Structure 1
């Protein structure tokens, strides 16, 4: 059983985020039991019986063989075709209440860190400020309810935390059922 997982620039710790877990399942692509299996989203029109090992995600063979993507391209505006391909077809996706999507900063996709509540988000003030601004701009929350909403992240809603792969800035978006 292999224990060293492939590296993913845009999802550096898929085990911590729950997108990959230890498992005795066989990969639907390579038909091997690697000891690890993918647990999050895969979008395809094809019928797939089972899920994939991290190696078949990393080398692109799962996306190619089953003509699918692990993440939607929504939100990847302004990145190169290579980055878009890397995120959507060679990077583990993640679970979310709403459609999960990737954030962009410094003309590159950001790295997904994980789903967090207010306490974890507050440790990254730039992400908290960016989320405040986003929520004000979309008109979903007036000032009096904004801070209440934010301080309840992790209970009724959560934040998806990302880190810029170029400058290290943290970013987030709110996700609720």
Structure 2
């Protein structure tokens, strides 16, 4: 069973509706899910936001957060996830921002990706973030990051259900 098919079953089982805020994964998370028959009822929306201006305008990322922590940061990923969740008719949001490579940028190593998962559970918001580094070509890093975002969704949703918020 593919990662996407497994996550679609999990979303359905837990009555979750997903939105994404993707920078470096460029819509790959939604694309993977959309390949699963019947997934349309599980996907609310997908934002693809590369520029700082798009992150600010569409997702409400604070310019000061970008200035302080850089575009590739857990802090920006968290604000992206919360912005997508706020704007969408969804109860789970996944966000990615990172450097695919092949070159490092602004002192950040190629392959560095920051993730955030935001959940609406019983009227409460839970937000989790992580930073990972993947090694490979741009395409490989992008695919591995998208799959990682999906693979970790179940884990963080279970933590949200247990009452953890961060």
Normalised TM-score (structure 2): 0.24
In terms of fraction of residues, the more strand-rich structure is 2
**Which structure has the greater CA radius of gyration?**
1
In terms of fraction of residues, the more helix-rich structure is 2
Normalised TM-score (structure 1): 0.23
